[in-house]
Amino acid sequence: MIEIINQQQRYWVNLKTFKDLLKRLIEHYRLKDPEVALAFVGTNTIKRLNRQFLKKNAPTDVLSFPLGERGADGKFYLGDIAISVPQAFKQCFREKHGLERELEILTVHGFLHLLKFEHSSGIEEEEEKIRDLVLKG
């Protein structure tokens, strides 16, 4: 099951776009009905999560919380992704594309972290490889 949560209210986010994107990623990586949650959050929430889990007292754009295990209920829990929409908004200007595109890129990045891709072991190459397969336009 895919769960999309919008915890921020400042920016409009088309939740269906991100549910569809996660479905394409799940299909591409041939995952069998994983449980995954994507939360769109504000600056304070992402900063709190970054401090709590990574010991960094600053906002960031995306955090991933991989589980990658089967629960007692038999479901496969891939993990959770939190994306700071205000941070993505700032970055979309620097990258010269829209907010939705930046959020899609961050969703792919966060998803790859759930699959255990890391910055030191090819996440950027994998992003390039799958970008055209999963991102629209």
* Domain coordinates in residue numbering, the chain: 2-134
Residue 84 bridge partners (DSSP): 41
Token pair, residue 1, equals: 């099951």
Task: Give the DSSP letter of residue 3.
Answer: E
Tell me the per-residue pLDDT of 84-122, one tens digit each, with 9 for 90 and over.
Answer: 999 999 999 888 889 999 999 999 999 999 999 887 777
Token pair, residue 34, equals: 């994983």
pLDDT above 90: percentage of residues in the chain: 78
User: At 47, phi and psi to the nearest 5?
Assistant: -65, -40
Cβ 59 vs Cβ 46: under 8 Å = yes
Task: Give the DSSP letter of residue 6.
Answer: E
Q: How far apart are CA 22 and CA 4, in angstroms?
A: 10
Residue 55 pLDDT > 90: yes
User: What average pLDDT does the structure give for the chain?
Assistant: 92
Pick the CATH number of 2-134 from 3.40.50.10490, 1.10.3720.10, 3.40.390.30, 3.40.50.2000: 3.40.390.30
Model confidence, pTM? 0.92
pLDDT value, residue 136: 64
Buried b (16+ CB within 10 A) or exposed e, 33-49: ebbbbbbbbbbebbbeb
Handedness of CA 20, 22, 23, 24 (dihedral sign): positive
CA distances from 122 to 91, 107, 125 (A): 22, 17, 5
The confidence band for 8, taking pLDDT boundaries of 50, 70 and 90, is very high
